[in-house]
Structure 1
């Protein structure tokens, strides 16, 4: 073999190796927050303040990603989960979001909690073109891909839930005198709009009392007393956990026995029903999209068995009776699905593309028949609910799964 022929073979081999390397590197695309070995995820939770009961969601998510990392990560990359406390204070949320995006340089912010808090960073996240993924709030505004293409919701929206409750009240007590109790912020506005829409023309005559509260109020007793004095016989309770528990307790203390309908965000047995007194919550109607891990009907369910195994090893102090723990587990599982679908294209644009391309995704904690679906025109992954009633020490499902998903004409 001639010297020139040998050189030519070596040259061609080098070109082949270089081409293979270029193809491999071309297949990997990263934005700030992602590398061959790590994915940085930002999170904001009220670990302190009036809504600190929700802090267990962030703790559960941290434990879930620890599990993922011990199992080898996602597509070989470890999750660096950075979670900050905002005490449910919008100015603090802005501060923490800027820190995550501009200092920590996360790939995305995931499952930040609260309507007023996320509202404070809504435009910032979209201006920065950083995924504001699976917002932990049921406000309808998170499903607006046309105007806010970098934000998605996660749970069923408040308006859909409130419409379902309105239909239930109309069916069970068409001559009701309704008192509505809600938080004085965007979430309360959403609930009220959905509830009035659900009642239709009867809203004006049926709603005889509206009581809104501030999260800074130490007690909401006076609001409950005012509703009773208005001769209300149906209480529709759109309060967050701390205040929902106070309302249940006060209603019992004054010997009042109205029909009581309560939002799904406050159905935690551990943080709402037990503090309020289990005996005081009997017969309350709500709705859910998640299984009750304490219910015997799920003891052989593979999803709940995986959840229990996770708690035992990675979050042993997590209370399986607290639906907020299952919420954190389920949300983290949702993000893991999206990141896995991204493969080696971990750009912010591809994260949003995968988050908007979910098709019948099942989670361990979702009720049978409820799956995650999204499209370019619909950023609401979970939009189905089932009615439940509190009995004994747990919630019992009744009726069929009800869809709150908008029609195609409404999403265009």
Structure 2
């Protein structure tokens, strides 16, 4: 009996009830991708074309969940979904990655993170002066809200010449620091980010992210897989802490370990692109013992396609995940449960390059999981509560178990 949670990073399914307060009225990551593909706007010659083809996800109930959350879609409906399906709103007060992940595991973020204003400069002199002095830097570049790929293309060559790292932020509670792996040095970048992490605590900033890149010119700069997230530790226990304390093996794949500050995690496995995450996940599912809790984050959806407002890229990534899904499901044992969900939205058709406040899908499946409609859930924490029930752990303080009677829990 094991529990596997796959976070399809940013796969929102329609504007949340409080989307207007975040400036995200009308956002619908999945719905707008589906509609764009059906109208030909998701085509890219030699890459993909036509309506989105995700038959396995549709069969599990993703389309039904998305329509319930965000309205009718041009999708073929299964005669009867083979998975449990529904959608969830977020209690946390932000639309950032840590808030979404922590809430899924039973710890909503019901306080306000600190944010930097959308001004130039964005970060106050007290922050940047301290970073320059404590990290012994010649200066910094950027200090604004920006898309990571765009600001590296704009300032990367100047960074290489000057030795000044590129420091920027977004609508999230975050400081991102980009630097060239070879000219600046990867370990030096991590050192600077560690210093920035301690300084950022004064402003209650949730994350500092190291963004290494390589290449020799603006046209050739590329991010590497050596990203590192330095996150404020969770403010309370999560399902990971509870499972580990009860003697269960807890396994994180991708950036999950960083997001939880590596707390409550027995084994933290790095993986870059979605294909690598999937490969590591399937190997762990072959190895992991009874009672294991495995959490994997598929970050390409968000980083490569959502933030870059790349509809065809996002659609193709979903299609590739769908093609691999039967192989993933074949790794499950008789008493396993697998849940697919997301941590926020990042609508590639929406203005700007920030996350969007949306419902997230919940799709649960397993050899002994009875299919059905679990409807709208009031919090992402219903996921963690259901996984806790499946693993025989004590109930979390937040969330309602959605597993039907007989599925190691009951409604």
Common topology (TM > 0.5): no
Which structure has the higher relative contact order (CA within 8 Å, separation 6+)?
2
Higher-Rg structure is 1
Q: TM-score by structure 2 length?
A: 0.28
Q: TM-score by structure 1 length?
A: 0.28
Structure number having the greater helix percentage: 1
